Amino acid sequence: MTSRERLRQRIIAAGVVLVAAFAGSAIHESWRLHEQVMRATERELGNLAKALAEQGSRNLQSVNLLLRDTGEWWESTGRGLPPDAIADALSARVVGVSQVSILTVVDAQGRQRYRSRVTGEPLSDVSDRPYFQRQREGPAGGLFINDPIITRTDGRSALVVSRRLTTRDGRFDGVVTAIVTLQELQAAYSAIELDTGSALLLTLDDGTLVVRQPEHPGMPSGQRFPEVTALKGGPPINRLVSPVDGRTKLLAVAGLGQQPLTLTLTRDEDRALRPWYDEMRNAAVRTMLLAALVVLTIAGLLRQLRRLEEGEAEKKALEARLQKAQRLESLGTLAGGIAHDFNNILGAILGFGEMAQQHAAPGSDMRRYIDRVMQAGARARVLVRRILDFSRSGVAERVPVRIEAVVEEALGMLRPTLPETIRIETQLDAGQAAVLGDSTQLHQVVMNLCTNAAQALGGAGAIKVLLERVTIATSQPLLHGELTPGAYVRLVVADTGMGMSPEILQRAFDPFFTTKKLGEGTGLGLSMVHGIVTDLNGLIDIATESGQGTCVTVWLPECPETEAPPVCLEPTWPRGNGQVVMVVDDEQPLVELAEELLAELGYEPVGFDSSEKALEAFRADPLRFDSVLTDEMQPGLLGSELAVALIAIRPDLPVLLVSGNVGTGLEQRAREAGVAELLRKPLGLQELAESMARTFRIP
């Protein structure tokens, strides 16, 4: 795993941790707020329930005191008073207690004897009433509250609150009762403002509903809620599902002192937790926004990291291209040195060979041997130019080139170098078709493809070379690029070798890639072919199969036809008329060769093996020399520098500069120095004769 991948994983992990932290913080805050809301509701409902229970206890306590005081009065004084006085006394006692509407004395047989006010005929027998039976059978001093009843006179709901009457000797002597209307109790709690969703319930110990505030339409006063009474004395806050509306309620239950009543405050849980719900929504929105911000930040960091990776990849690609360019530049520098040294050797071979060729009798064995030497020298000359053309960044001059002539020349040079077991089968049908390019580069294409095909045969087989004109009507996809409609010259080089594997095919045009052993190849052949073909706006395609051979097809755009060059059987060269030519070269054999060639052409050469000696001789007698032929690459003073020094002394002096590595840099220096001709090594007799003729304007 790379450091970038680890960093990416760390960024993602940090984002996950941050989002989890935000979510965890929101959950914790939510839980904390929930607990705060529940505690606040518990305190509010609990405190209010206790306060209201105490208030209700005080109200019932006044009724209890009224009943107990009435019972004592009855046993001590009231029994002996006249009926009217008893009724007046009872009425007077009720005046101070607003909750009590009627105060009644019932004898031991269950007959209503006296009432605080007349509401109809008194009941002759209430012995079957629960409060009477309870007081008769129960202990003295107990307060009993009967289930809600409907009063006979006004039809209102009321409670019968009773106490037992006892004689001095402790015998049951009847019951004193007080009718407490529920409307009065309702009015006692109506002043309390409860929140929406909250309610007050006053129930008996058995769960019978006595009072509900606010009132619930359709709910009878006698409905029972035993589950509420069961919570009496339990936790300060409880949760129940209401049987009335099905909502979950929070309840606070409190007893009314020693009275058989229970006061309950309820609140809808949804209502109580509304602040928590609101905060939950806000927290969720905040968490989502923070999470989105974290995600966007992480996405930005990852995008930036990806851009850095792409930048580094591009940087590495640029560095690779720079290294490749540096290698090619190094090759170019090396090629220049090789060209200089090799051209000096090759120049002597070709020069003296050409002179020997002229003096050898046509058809003799000596002439045949010299012709072979010249052919080998010509191939060596082409090899040097291939190296120089590959190393130079400039583009060769493009002119219409008759491609069939180039292919014939290349095959003619190739045949003598191949073993007899390798056959070359040709079919050249291009006629006068031409392509816009450089003949040397096209020669390299043919030689490279045929040489690769010969090497693929392994010593035996056939090379098929096809050249023809083709017109393409529709686009065709190739291995590298797409062939567009137009007129082309198609060159096909096929072999019967072992073919290429798909892996090798993908890298066939890569520079420095080769399948040959160390020392047997540089990997520049197909790369050079691809570069030349692409530079000429052509395309190249390879069809191969392992064990079935390889077929390379080159498509070059066709340009208008050119006439075949005339064949000169006996070359003739313009000759001089005794002009004195200074010859300067650090290689003594080349100095001797140039002197021989110039003398053969009718000039008087004077040779020097160093620039310094030549400059010294020229300064001694500037008018002695009619022209100068100097090599560029010399120790000490370069040929172009020597030209500058000579022309400074004699501005009309024609200087011919010779080099084995002619590039744009040398061409620029030659123009700046005022050089008349720039020649390429090795020099041929015809090239030298024509250059000297142009210099001296010889027809």
Domain count, the chain: 3
* Cα(98)–Cα(529) distance, integer angstroms: 122
What is the Cα–Cα distance from 355 to 367, expressed in whole angstroms? Answer: 11
Mean pLDDT within 35-59: 78
> Do 193 and 75 belong together in one domain?
yes
Pick from 375, 350, 532, 340: nearest CA to 440: 532
Asked whether the predicted pLDDT for residue 38 surpasses 60, the reply is yes
Contact status, residue 473 vs residue 486, Cβ threshold 8 Å: no
pLDDT of residue 520: 45
156 and 91: one domain? yes
What stretches of 77-181 show up as alpha helix (H) in DSSP? 83-94, 130-137
Domain at 255, CATH number: 3.30.450.20
pLDDT band at 124 (very low <50, low <70, confident <90, very high): confident
The larger pLDDT score, comparing residue 392 to residue 601, is at 601
**670 touches 656 (CB < 8 A):** no
Q: Which segment of 53-62, 333-342, 519-528, 557-566 scores lowest on mean pLDDT?
A: 519-528
pLDDT at 471 over 80: yes
pLDDT in tens, 366-387: 877 777 777 667 666 666 665 5
- At 313-353, the pLDDT tens digits run 888 877 876 776 666 566 666 666 666 666 667 667 777 77
**Considering the domain boundaries, does residue 108 fall inside one?**
yes
Mean pLDDT of the chain: 79
Q: Which of 495, 487, 507 is nearest to 555 (CA)?
A: 487
How confident is the model at residue 522, as a pLDDT? 44
Could you tell me if 489 and 588 lie in one domain?
no
**Is the C-alpha dihedral spanning 168, 172, 173, 174 positive or negative?**
positive
Is pLDDT at 594 greater than 70 in this prediction? yes
**In terms of Cα–Cα distance, which of 210, 136, 137, 209 is closest to 173?**
136
Q: Is the pLDDT of residue 650 over 80?
A: yes
Domain boundary among 503, 527, 559: 559
Among the three residues 272, 297, 326, which one is the final residue of a domain in this structure? 272
User: What proportion of the chain, given as a percentage, has pLDDT over 70?
Assistant: 80
Would you say residue 361 lies in a domain? no
596 and 488 in one domain? no
In the three-class reduction of DSSP (H, G, I as helix; E, B as strand; rest coil), residue 427 is classed as strand
**The domain spanning residue 463 has which CATH number?**
3.30.565.10
Contact 51, 162 (CB under 8 A): no
Spatial separation of the C-alpha atoms in residues 603 and 573, rounded to whole Å? 13
Interatomic CA distance for residues 464 and 449, integer angstroms? 11
Q: Are residues 643 and 587 in the same domain?
A: yes
- The predicted structure's pLDDT at residue 641: 93
For helices 664-673 and 639-649, what crossing angle results, to 10°? 10
Q: Is residue 618 part of a domain?
A: yes
For residue 574, being part of any structural domain is answered with: no
Kindly report the CATH number assigned to the domain that includes residue 627.
3.40.50.2300
Spatial separation of the C-alpha atoms in residues 397 and 404, rounded to whole Å: 19
pLDDT (mean) for 373-402: 64
- Of 489, 490, 494, 528, which is closest to residue 508 (Cα–Cα)? 528
Give the whole-angstrom CA distance, residue 330 versus residue 337.
11
State mean pLDDT over 616-641.
92
Q: How far apart are CA 94 and CA 119, in angstroms?
A: 15
Output the pLDDT for position 388: 59
pLDDT tens digits for range 267-290? 877 777 788 888 888 888 888 888
Q: Which of 238, 256, 272 lies at the terminal end of a domain, its last residue?
A: 272
In a domain, 34, yes or no: no
* Section 509-536 average pLDDT: 62
pLDDT at 68 (0 to 100): 86
Top pLDDT among 441 and 695 is at 695
Q: Where are the alpha helices (DSSP H) in 265-402?
A: 269-272, 274-359, 365-391
Interval 410-436: pLDDT, tens: 888 888 888 888 888 999 988 888 898
User: Would 652 be classed as within a structural domain?
Assistant: yes
H-run or E-run covering 23: helix 3-76
242 and 93 in one domain?
yes
- Give the pLDDT score at 395: 45
How far lies 373's CA from each of 136, 367, 368, 379, in Å? Answer: 155, 10, 9, 10
* Top-confidence residue, 345 or 11: 11
Same domain, 219 and 141: yes
Predicted confidence at residue 613, as pLDDT, reads 92
Compute the distance between CA of residue 63 and CA of residue 127 in angstroms, rounded to an integer: 22
pLDDT (mean) for 145-157: 71
Same domain, 500 and 614: no
Q: Do 446 and 585 have their domain in common? A: no
- Same domain? For 506 and 631 the reply is no
* Residues 500, 546 contacting (CB under 8 angstroms): yes
Question: Domain of 466?
Answer: 396-559
Q: What are the pLDDT digits (tens) for 170-226? A: 788 889 888 887 666 666 666 666 777 777 777 777 777 777 766 666 665 567 777
Report pLDDT for 248.
Answer: 80
Instruction: Select, from the ranges 325-339, 454-468, 602-616, the one with the highest average predicted confidence (pLDDT).
Output: 602-616
**What is the Cα–Cα distance from 671 to 346, expressed in whole angstroms?**
27
DSSP H helices in 394-494? 403-414, 439-457
Q: Which amino acid is present at 485?
A: P
Q: Looking at the structure, do residues 150 and 105 belong to the same domain, yes or no?
A: yes
Tell me the pLDDT tens digit for each residue of 127-143: 888 888 888 887 766 77
Measured CA to CA, the distance from residue 113 to residue 126 in angstroms comes to 11
> What DSSP line would sit under 232-255, residue for residue?
TTS-SSEEEE-TTT--EEEEEEEE
Report yes or no: 508 and 569 within 8 Å, Cβ to Cβ: no
Confidence at 579, pLDDT banded by 50, 70, 90 = very high
239-244, Cβ contacts within 8 angstroms, sequence gap of 24 or more: 239/269, 242/266, 244/216, 244/219
Residue 543 lies in a domain: yes
Position 516, amino acid? K
In a domain, 459, yes or no: yes
Same domain, 460 and 600: no
- The predicted structure's pLDDT at residue 90: 84
